[in-house]
Amino acid sequence: MTETALRTAPFDKTRVLAWLQSYGVYAGVAMLLIVNTVITPHFLTAENFRTQAVQVAPVVIVALGMALVIGTEGVDLSVGAVMALAASVTALYLGYGLLPALLVVAVFAAGAGLANGALVAFVGVQPIVATLALMVGGRGIALVLLPQLQDLHNPALASLGSGAVAGIPYLILIAAALALLIAFVVRRTTFGRQLLAIGDSRPAAQLAGLPVRRVLVVVYVVCALLAAVAGVLATARLQASDPTSLGNLMELSAITAVVVGGTPLTGGRISIGGTVAGAVLIQLLTATLIKHDLPPSWTQIAQAIVIVCAVYAARGRGKR
Amino acid sequence: MQRTTHRPRLLARPVVVALAAAVALTASACTKSEDDASDDKRSSTAAADTEQKVVTPKPGSKSCTIDAYGAEKIDLKNATVGFSQSEKEANPFRIAETQSLKDEAGKRGVKLLTANAQSQFSKQISDVQDLLAKGADLLVIAPLNSDGWEPVLRAAAAKKVPIVTIDRKINATPCKDYVSFIASDFVEQGRRAADQMIEATGGKGEVAILLGAAGNNVTTERTKGFKERIAEKAPDLKVVFEQTGDFAREKGQQVTEQLIQSKPGIKGVYAENDEMGLGAVAALKGAGKKAGAVKIVTVDGTRNAVQGIVDGWISGVVESNPRFGPLAFQTLDAFTKGEEVPQDVIIEDGAYTGDNAKQDIGKAY
Amino acid sequence: MAPPAEVLAVRGLSKTFPGVRALDGVDLTLHPGEVHALIGENGAGKSTLIKVLTGVHRPDAGDITFQGRPVAFSTPMEAQKAGISTIYQEVNLIPLLSVARNLFLGREPRTRLGLLDFGRMHREADEALRAHGVRVDVRQPLRTLGVGAQQMVALARAVATDARVVIMDEPTSSLEPREVETLFSVIRRLRESGIAVVYVSHRLDELYAVCETVTVLRDGRRVHHGRLADLDRLGLVSTMLGRDMGEVRSEGLTKFTGDHHAAAGEPVLQATGLTVPHRLHGVSVGIRPGEVVGLGGLLGSGRTETAKAISGALPLRSGDVVVAGAPLRGGSTPAAIRAGISLLPEDRKSEGIVPGLSVRENIALAALPRLSRFGLVSEARVDAVVDTFVRRLRIKASSPHQKVGELSGGNQQKVLLARWLAMNPKVLLLDEPTRGIDVGAKAEVQKLVDELAADGLGVLLISSDLEELIEGSDRVVVLKDGAVVGELTGDDVTEDKLMRTIAGDPPAPGAVEVAATDD
């Protein structure tokens, strides 16, 4: 009986909200670009766009992983801690050269993701609780490994952080490549389809014979690896490993980007384009307020307003 | 209806534990960080001239004696001193502060008990109570907050244990609830940073402030002093930009990047700690600016920042000396002997500029 | 006898949703003490009509007169206060509150101090439920009760308020036969006390058992109304479907041919001694290729659990499952699926469909690894499979990209069937394949089951609809309390024998078999 209502339910308001949820973030980005072009001096310069893109790149990379996890109806609070861990490990093993250090970072990150994934998929702990453990513990480990900020002088690392190809910094290229890769995985691969099905209805996915646990573990590992990539890039840019403050509150920025981008927290749907746009939106908003030297508290309030709008738009479609 | 059950694999738990153990093992073994020459220099920092000096107290400032406080005389040599640190030793300031107390205790042969509250106030309260229970005769506290100390003060008073607070103040009655407060004058640090900025920029143009974490008295006072002095001495120097960098290098870098995009004509950046200042340096380097094109003045006096002066990126660093050990013990020693000690001990902080950075870098922490 | 004044009169009610005219000038009159059947296929407008009557939706046109006064409710609470109560298909009470609190929600008895009077509440709740044949500890949280008992609490709550009209939307879908009897006696009592009842159900037996009058909706219009007794079952069905009377008659009430399939050779599935703690105690079932084996029994007898245990979704303590001679190892769902076992779960909405994904993705879901190369989905292969099954099963969707959650129940079920047929299964376990779907889709599903069996599939059929079970199955294995209590084969597959086996009585000697379709 309820099918009738569902088939006929979309009255106008829901439609507007649905549109807002899917495309509101792009409209928001467009609006900020236009406003800034008009009111902000030196906004329309290549240099400025490069700055914004370089600053947003780590957030985008972390948010990509977060989008996958949220697509499975989960959440990963440990991404900031994994970034810090990546920073520490990079500093500790950089003596062997950049590549070996990165391999060790990957091993650590995979371990962190495996721990998260195993807790969620096998032990059945709620994602928010499972990843909370590593959010606290991960940074702890990072600080044990490297108790305080350390400057890094490796030239390869430095060029990773500030080098460019044809005027486009590596950071931006890497973030763009990863975004395309993740979008491709979500749309075109078996894994992506299975991930969405699991996020939408886990019992149904289980009865349909999907490898639910394997997919969940892989998702958390991928999320941790992406966070580690972001951690290494941020470290490379700073040319210092700062496990104390690197990635602080990154989990919130990433979740905000994902949600503002139109990916529902209830799982089953992932918008990679929206996620990237969500991160860009927050970045532009912050940049606008900073450039006009408005009090920092305004940034927080503005972010809160964007989140409320996103959640409001999502609410109309929350129930299926 | 029965939902499909997940069989929690009992294996999973040992696996996770084993994994964690493996992580810890691999982490401690065979690491190889970059060869950092400055590491060697670090160990030899205990130079005598890095000790804190007291600003000569103005005549008429209040003091305290053991009789007025109501404690008993003891010999510091045989006493146990408890030290409660507020934040974990993850930044140079806290590391140097704790180390300085430990060194001084070692030098004087005093037994020192230490505790670290890990930035949790409730933990600090219980830390201090623990120290009292373990038999501390004297307490040195680096408070995380200024308020909420009543239960601890009452417990200390019951045991007649004198308290000295360092780097932050406790809101209570001096010479009744605690003996002395030893700290830098953050407003004065701001003023001196302003002096350096005026000198570096010639007192003209637009400057920016990288604020510390919001809602922190250090931020407020360092800002206040800086602005006061600018207004007073160099009305042509305009503060056109004030954004928080949360005392962190990365945030300082990001904010400075935005700053030099939107205000290319900026002449100076006042960073309220060294880390943000170093972030500003990274931003300027990234934007292809030359060393010294934008004058940077910071507060703290860490080795990296002083090195920044040597390299020409930073114009000046106002010191905020963390080495409270000698002064704290000196105060306690005098007090327990029955001598008069001042209630507020204000430290005289040093400064680093292009003139002294090279020879004084050994003093930086 | 002069008919009493009407308690509820609806005239010219219309409601349009974007793209759909859900109600189109519908009339409905109810007199006190009248039990009125409201029927129609899915999408005919029953739900919308109920939602307009109870204040969930506002009508676009038309008026509602309740007890002689025009009304326009804006919330269900208003409607309930005025005297229109509703019992929904799915229990909509608060699972964590006690039974008594649920029963008195919003109208709790209070002490003089204004506090909740728990003593009185528990006493009265206990009395009210006993009157409906439910004996439970009313202090327990509602969720500890079975679904049937919860539905009875909802009923007791609806009746306990001063309702003049009670709307029951498929109230029996989760009730056991005994509870259905209780429900009917409650309805009779309501009738005697002059309360009008609107009764919505897909089960024709129930309609004829309790209703006097009927309104048939089709495509948002009222196509028939009058006394139910004036219309026989076939007439009713054909009015609902808008089909030719003759066609329906010639094909019987179910689409099953009733023929026995050519069941030959070794069993394609042999489950032996399935034991799941507290649920199954050594259940054995064998299915040969081309055979439809029915699984009979009451709610909670272990039918669903048997199907789930075979498909690996329920961990076994002991027992074996052998598919086409090969023992199934691991007891996991993926292993069972690889071996050729497909389960159409009972709870279509939460365990079957993936509502947010499209028709296309739902169909391809289980077969994805086969439709992929190197982990990349081959869109061409998916399209081929989806096209085949959308056409073969006549799945009605605006496009293959429509979300499954937006489809009607019948089409959702077809999508699930397509998902499994795409796997080329050897054994199909169908748990309530036609529950809650409209008559047309039901017939199609039944016909399909026949065809699949004819193609050599082994089918296990679970159905609470006795007619469907009897006509659809070649053999019926009867379960009771998690164990097999009997098996009906050949001419013994009758409703009468089934009832007796379930009840545990030996069949009466020489009992005349009651034909399944007796009208």
Distance (Å, whole) CA B263 – CA A291: 8
Residue of B nearest to A49 (CA): B261
Helix residue spans in C24-145 (DSSP H) = 46-53, 76-82, 99-103, 118-131
Q: Per-residue pLDDT for C20 more than 80?
A: no
**Residue A106 placed within a domain:** yes
Amino acid at C230: D
Q: How many structural domains compose chain A?
A: 1
Instruction: Say yes or no for a CB contact (<8 Å) between C346 and B7.
Output: no
- Looking up tokens 């905000």, which residue turns up? A256
- Indicate yes or no: CB of A209 within 8 angstroms of CB of C337: yes
- Res A63 pLDDT > 90: yes
Percent of chain B having pLDDT more than 90? 37
How much is the pLDDT for C249? Answer: 42
Question: How many angstroms away from the CA of C313 is the closest CA of chain B?
Answer: 6
Confidence of residue C507 (pLDDT cuts 50, 70, 90): very low
Instruction: Name the helix (H) or strand (E) containing B81.
Output: strand B80-85
Residue with the larger pLDDT of the pair C177 and C409: C409
AA identity, residue A178: L
Q: Which amino acid is at B233?
A: K
Mean pLDDT of C149-154: 80
Q: What pLDDT is recorded for position B17?
A: 52
A210 inside domain: yes
Place of tokens 């120097």: B237
pLDDT at C43: 63
* Rounded Cα–Cα distance for residues C299 and A92 (Å): 63
Tokens 């009923």 -> residue: C155
Q: Report which of residues B148 and B231 the model is more confident about.
A: B231
pLDDT recorded at residue A76: 96
- Which distant-in-sequence residues (6+ apart) come within 8 Å of C243 by Cβ? none
Give A20 to chain B, closest Cα distance, Å.
29
Residue C21 pLDDT exceeds 90: no
Q: In whole angstroms, what separates CA A34 from the centre of its chain?
A: 25
Which residues are CB-neighbours of C104 under 8 A, at least 6 positions away? Answer: C121, C124, C125
Count of A-B CB contacts under 8 Å: 143
B7 to chain C nearest CA, in Å? 8
> Would you call B33 and A246 a contact, using CB atoms and an 8 Å cutoff?
no
Give the mean model confidence (pLDDT) for residues C430-437.
86
Distance of CA C198 to the CA centre of its chain: 18
Task: State how far the Cα of C440 lies from the Cα of C421, in Å rounded to an integer.
Answer: 21
Q: How do residues C61-119 score in pLDDT, each as one tens digit?
A: 999 999 888 988 888 888 888 889 888 766 677 878 888 888 887 777 788 777 888 88
B9 shares contact with chain C (CB less than 8 Å): no
Q: Identify whether A39 is part of a domain.
A: no
Q: Is A198 inside any structural domain?
A: yes
For A54, B254, B258, B291, the CA distances from B283, given in Å and listed in that order, are 12, 7, 9, 12
CATH of residue A279: 1.10.3470
Distance from the B282 Cα atom to the nearest Cα atom in chain A, whole angstroms: 7
Alpha-carbon span B287 to A48, nearest angstrom: 10
Joined tokens for residue B314: 């930073």
Look at C368-372, C393-397, C462-466, C485-489 and tell me which has the smallest mean pLDDT: C462-466
Of C274, C324, C331, residue with least CA distance to C304: C274
Determine, for residues B262 and A55 on separate chains, whether the beta-carbon distance falls below 8 Å. Answer: no
Interchain CB distance below 8 Å, A95 and B35 = yes
User: What percent of the residues of chain B are helix, what percent strand, and what percent coil, each to the nearest 5?
Assistant: 45, 20, 35
For A100-124, what is the mean pLDDT?
95
- The parent domain of residue A158 ranges over 26-33+44-318
pLDDT at C494 over 60: yes
Nearest to B5 among C304, C315, C346 (CB): C315
**A5: confidence class by pLDDT, cuts 50, 70, 90:** very low
| Minimum-distance CB partner of B7 among C304, C305, C315 | C315
pLDDT digits (tens, 9 = 90+) for A263-306: 988 888 999 999 999 999 999 999 999 999 888 788 788 888 88
- pLDDT digits 0-9 by tens, C294-347: 998 766 678 888 999 999 988 888 899 999 888 987 678 999 999 999 999 988
**What's the CA gap between B281 and B277, in Å, rounded?**
6
Q: Using CA atoms, how far apart are residues A292 and B309, in angstroms rounded to an integer?
A: 30
pLDDT at C193: 85
Q: Which amino acid is at C147?
A: V
Shortest distance between the Cα of A207 and any Cα of chain B, in A, equals: 8
Contacts of C335 in chain B (CB under 8 A): none
The minimum CA-CA distance between A208 and chain C, rounded to whole Å, is 5
Phi–psi pair at C213, nearest 5 degrees: -120, 165
Instruction: Dump pLDDT digits (tens) for B26-77.
Output: 555 677 777 654 444 444 344 445 667 776 655 566 888 888 887 878 888 8
* Nearest-Cα residue of chain A relative to residue C349: A204
Sign of CA dihedral A55, A60, A65, A71: positive
β partners of residue B269: B208, B296
Give, as one character, the DSSP assignment of residue C407: S
Contacts of A122 in chain B (CB under 8 A): 6, 8-9, 11-12
What subunits touch chain A, counting only 3 or more CB pairs under 8 A? Answer: B, C
Summarize the confidence of residues C168-190 as an average pLDDT: 81
Which chain A residues contact residue B214 at CB under 8 A? 296-297
Q: With CB atoms and an 8 Å threshold, state whether B2 touches C351.
A: no
- Residue A135 and residue A223 in contact, taking contact as beta carbons nearer than 8 Å: no
Three-state DSSP at C506 gives: coil
pLDDT tens for C225-244 read 999 888 877 777 778 766 55
What is the structure's pLDDT at C248? 45
What would you report as the CA-atom Rg of chain A, rounded to the nearest whole angstrom?
20
Report the complex ipTM: 0.84
| Fold for the domain defined by B49-183+322-348 | Rossmann fold (3.40.50)
C chain contacts of residue A268, beta-carbon cutoff 8 Å: 354-357
DSSP conformation letters of C439-465: HHHHHHHHHHHHHHHHTT-EEEEE-S-
Burial, B258: exposed, middle or buried (Cβ in 10 Å; 0-12, 13-18, 19+)? buried
Q: Which two tokens stand for residue C102?
A: 């649920």
State residue B11's pLDDT score: 46
* Token representation of residue A232: 């290494």
Nearest chain A Cα distance for residue B194, angstroms? 20
- Counting Cβ atoms within 10 Å, is residue A9 exposed (0-12), middle (13-18) or buried (19+)? middle
Token pair belonging to B164: 């000295």
Q: Which domains does chain C have, with CATH numbers?
A: 8-250 (3.40.50.300), 252-340+426-519 (3.40.50.300), 349-424 (no CATH)
- Average pLDDT (A62-68) is 97
Q: Which among C350, C361, C375 has the least Cβ separation from residue A191?
A: C375
| Number of neighbouring beta carbons within 10 Å of residue C72 | 12
pTM: 0.75
Q: Which residue of C has its CA nearest to B3?
A: C351
Q: In a 3-state reduction of DSSP, which class is residue C413?
A: helix
In contact, C202 and C171? CB cutoff 8 Å: no
Q: Which chains touch B (3 or more CB pairs under 8 A)?
A: A, C
If you count them, how many residues does chain B have? 365
B211–A118: do the CB atoms touch at under 8 Å? Answer: no
In terms of CA atoms, which chain B residue is nearest residue A40? B262
Residues above pLDDT 90, as percent of chain C: 30
Q: Is the predicted pLDDT of residue A166 greater than 80, yes or no?
A: yes
Strand positions, DSSP E, chain A: 150-151, 164-165, 168-169, 240-241
Q: Would you place residue C1 in the very low, low, confident or very high pLDDT band (cuts 50, 70, 90)?
A: very low
pLDDT at C496 over 80: no
Determine which of A2, A4, A200, A202 to mutate to test the interface with C (most C C-beta atoms within 10 Å).
A4
Res. C424: pLDDT tops 60: yes
Task: Kindly report, residue by residue over B163-177, the tens digit of the pLDDT.
Answer: 999 988 888 888 888
What is the rounded CA–CA span in Å between residue C402 and residue A6? 12
How far CA C486 is from CA of C285, C304, C462, C492, C508, in Å, comes to: 11, 17, 15, 11, 15
Alpha-carbon distance of A190 to A183, in angstroms, equals 13
In the predicted model, is pLDDT for residue A117 greater than 90?
Answer: yes
CA distance A48 to chain B (A): 6
- Which residues of chain B are in CATH 3.40.50.2300 domains? 49-183+322-348, 186-320
DSSP character string of C170-192: STTTT--HHHHHHHHHHHHHHHH
Give the right CATH number for B186-320 from 1.10.630.10, 3.40.50.2300, 1.10.3470.10, 3.30.70.2740. 3.40.50.2300
What's the N-to-C CA distance of chain B in angstroms? Answer: 66
Residue whose C-alpha is closest to residue A287's, from A105, A68, A52: A52
Distance CA A96, CA A89 (A): 12
- Sequence-ordered list of residues with C-beta below 8 angstroms from that of B226, at least 6 positions apart, any chain: B190, B191, B193, B194, B197, B209, B270
Q: What are phi and psi of B289, to 5 degrees?
A: -80, 160
Instruction: Summarize the confidence of residues A88-100 as an average pLDDT.
Output: 93
Contact C334 A8 (CB under 8 A): no
* C354 to A201: CB separation less than 8 angstroms, yes or no: yes
Which residues are C484's β-sheet partners? C479
Residue-wise pLDDT tens digits, B148-159: 888 888 888 888
Q: What is the mean pLDDT of chain C?
A: 83
Name the helix (H) or strand (E) containing A287.
Answer: helix A272-291
Host H or E run for residue C70: strand C69-71
Q: Which residues touch A287 (CB under 8 Å, ≥6 apart)?
A: A52, A55, B258
pLDDT tens for each residue of A26-62: 999 999 999 999 998 888 888 899 999 999 999 999 9
